[in-house]
Structure formats: structure tokens, C-alpha cells
Amino acid sequence: MLKTGKLLRLRRLSPAGDDRYLLVPLDHSVSDGPIVPADKWDDLLRALVTGGADGIIVHKGRAGAFTPDILGSCALVVHLSASTARAGDVHAKVLVADVEEALRLGADAVSVHVNIGSDTEAQQLADLGAVARSCDAWGMPLIAMVYPRGPRIEDPRDPDLLAHLTNVAADLGADMVKTSVALPLDRMAEVVANSPIPVLAAGGPPDDSDLVEYATAVMATGCRGLAIGRRIFSSPSPGPLVSRLAGVVHGGDGTLGDMGMTADTAGTTSTTSPTSQTPNYSTIVAGVA
């Protein structure tokens, strides 16, 4: 029964049925402060749902604050970890909720953040293991957000390091892992190939380069999904942007449909040749969602 419960919840995370995922993290209000005015939250959620987001990631209080039916077919992921930008150690994550609370809120999955290389890595790993046990007991999918951050990390984009991190997530019981993108970007394929569980690419390019083009290049490396927050909720048109990203994630080949269509973040659409060169992102550092 519990195994069936987890499988049902995992299916709700990918309503297209293709085991690909477009998640929008909205937990930044704890780490950094408000992401939209309080009276605009429902509007943002409706835009994300209408645009085709597969799931949103929020903290427990936020999950209990919006209208229950606002998500429709969009999955709810409750984030269990927290820290703020004003902490003495911004890389130290602590558990602020548990699986049982997430279940009472109707969550389809939970997520836990671990910073490998931080001063508190040991406690964060212990927390991930404890949450994994609860998830196994309750049939709850677990997304591990594992990043190389802290004083012991020299190159956070090192493919070998990121491959290690994805295996940490898998070995401690996660069902999928959200992590940084390797550089050069084509080496992200090595990270994916070495991961026993689906890899979700975190964030997008921090500059003004085209987010949809970048997402297309990332998905072409074999990632099973995207987890993009800031570049979506700070967009003047988050709904249309999510719709274009959903086309990338669920198009299967990194395109919007079968006509070689791509779209930029400004909302215009153009036709490109199927043989167009993938942009060189070797000098771009992907931001954190």
C-alpha cells in the first residue's frame, strides 16, 4: 500500500506521464524575503498552474495559506529545510518541518536541502537520512536539493563533484535530486549518466541570456527536468514563460512541438532550423533556482 502511495504521488509530479518534471521553487521568501506582494501570491500561483508547471515548492506555512483548489493538477512539494541570508553561516540548513506535517497539508512530495562542503554537512546528511526514513514509512517522494557549497568547495561546477553529489542523494534514499549544472554544460551528461535517480537542473543563467535556449541545452544533456524559481517569479509574464519551459521539458527533444519552434523570455516566438547550433554556455554559471 505504501509503495503504491509513493508511486501515485510520483505520477502526480509528472502529470504528462513522461517522467519529466518542471518544478517552480517558491521557498525564497524564507531565505531572501518576499518574492511578490502578499496580495499577488494567488495570482502568481494561478499563472504558474495555467502555464503548465508540474509542481511548486513552498514552505509549510505558505502551503496552508492559499486556497486548496488553486493548484488544480499542479503538484505540491513542501520544503522541509531552511536558512536565511542573514545567518552567521548561510550554508547551514536546518529542518523546520517534517513529513507528517507535509502529509496533513496534502503534499505530493517533500524536499530537503543539503550543502556538501559546508561546516554543517554532517548534520545536514543526518537530517536527509532521517527524512528519507519517514518518507519510506509514509510513501512520500523525496527530492534532495544537494549543492556543492562551503569553504571546502573549489569548483562548484566540477562534473565529478556533481556526480558524487547525485549519488549521495540516491544512497541516502532520495527519489530524485536537484543540483547545479556542470560546466562546460555538455559535461552535465556525465553527471546524469552516473546518477541512479532522475536529475533536475537547478536554476538558469544569471545573466540576460535566453532562459528557454539555456533550458533546451540543459535538457539535451539528459536531465529529467528543471527546477527554476527566481527567473520565473521575477519575470513580468511568469505564465507564458512557464508555458515555454514546459514545452522544452515535455517536448522530449528540447523543442516546442514538432516544428522547430523556440521562444525567448520576452514572449516572442521564432522558427529555427533543427540543425541550429546549441549556444556555447561554457562560460555561463547557472544560477540557483
- The residues that bridge with 256 in the sheet, in sequence order, are 261
Residue 27 among the catalytic residues = yes
**Catalytic residue selected from 6, 60, 93, 178:** 178
Is beta strand 75-79 parallel, antiparallel or unpaired with respect to 81-82? unpaired
Rounded CA-CA distance 177/143 in Å is 6
**Catalytic residue selected from 27, 108, 127, 175:** 27
List of E strands, the chain: 21-25, 55-58, 75-79, 81-82, 94-95, 109-116, 142-148, 176-179, 199-202, 225-227, 261-263, 269-271
- Whether the CB-CB separation of 94 and 131 falls below 8 Å is answered with no
Residue 21 among the catalytic residues = no
- Whether the CB-CB separation of 223 and 191 falls below 8 Å is answered with no
Query: DSSP assignment of 196-243, as one string?
Result: SS-EEEE---SSSS-HHHHHHHHHTTT--EEE--HHHHTSS-HHHHHH
**Catalytic residue selected from 21, 147, 214, 281:** 147
- Whether the CB-CB separation of 261 and 210 falls below 8 Å is answered with no
Catalytic residues: 27, 147, 178
